[in-house]
Amino acid sequence: MSIYDFEFNSIDGEKVSLDQYKGKVLVIVNTASKCGFTPQYADLEKLYKKYKDKGLEILGFPCNQFAEQEPGNNQEVKSFCELNYGVTFPMFEKIDVRGKDAHPLFKNLVEKAPYKGLDLNHPSGKILYSFLSEKLPEYLVGDSIKWNFTKFLIDKEGNVVNRFEPTTEPMDMEKHIEELL
């Protein structure tokens, strides 16, 4: 199944097909408003502003599966993102990204970009790994999404070319994005 076959509702409730993003480089990210990684919104927006005219789209998918860190409704999420981080990139309705109810897009993404581990040399990598090992060890098994702000990089042909775990800062993806634009 092609990435362009998937449809979602925007955060405002409008039907959106990923088909409209053909020919663009995409960063698809699951987000949350009350997470230690939430400040990544700021750098995601920086990347979006810098490269949107060159063909980059960042698509944010709020998710409440990780310690209920996205409890608000869609309008609350939208307001939070706009007011606190100036987010202008497309945001979508809340969805599940792991488990039996995971949206098929995210099942597809993790199948095409398996989990390679957290960067344990990064302080937040150590913290997240320790937390998951102690509180949610089942999350470390398999290729599923481990936490908020897992980022997938998609090329202009719709191929998943890289997966960046939450501990990877958005600006650390910049050279990978530039190579695809």
In this structure, what token pair is assigned to residue 42? Answer: 């700021």
Q: Which residues pair with 27 in a beta bridge?
A: 58, 153
Catalytically active residues, by annotation: 35
CB 35 within 8 A of CB 148: yes
Q: Which residues of 106-134 are buried (b: 16+ CB within 10 A; e: fewer)?
A: bbbbbeebebeebbeebebbeebbeebee
The arrangement of strands across the sheet holding 160-164 comes to 56-62, 25-31, 151-154, 160-164
- Per DSSP, 10 falls in state B
In this structure, what token pair is assigned to residue 102? Answer: 């995971």
Q: Which residues pair with 25 in a beta bridge?
A: 56
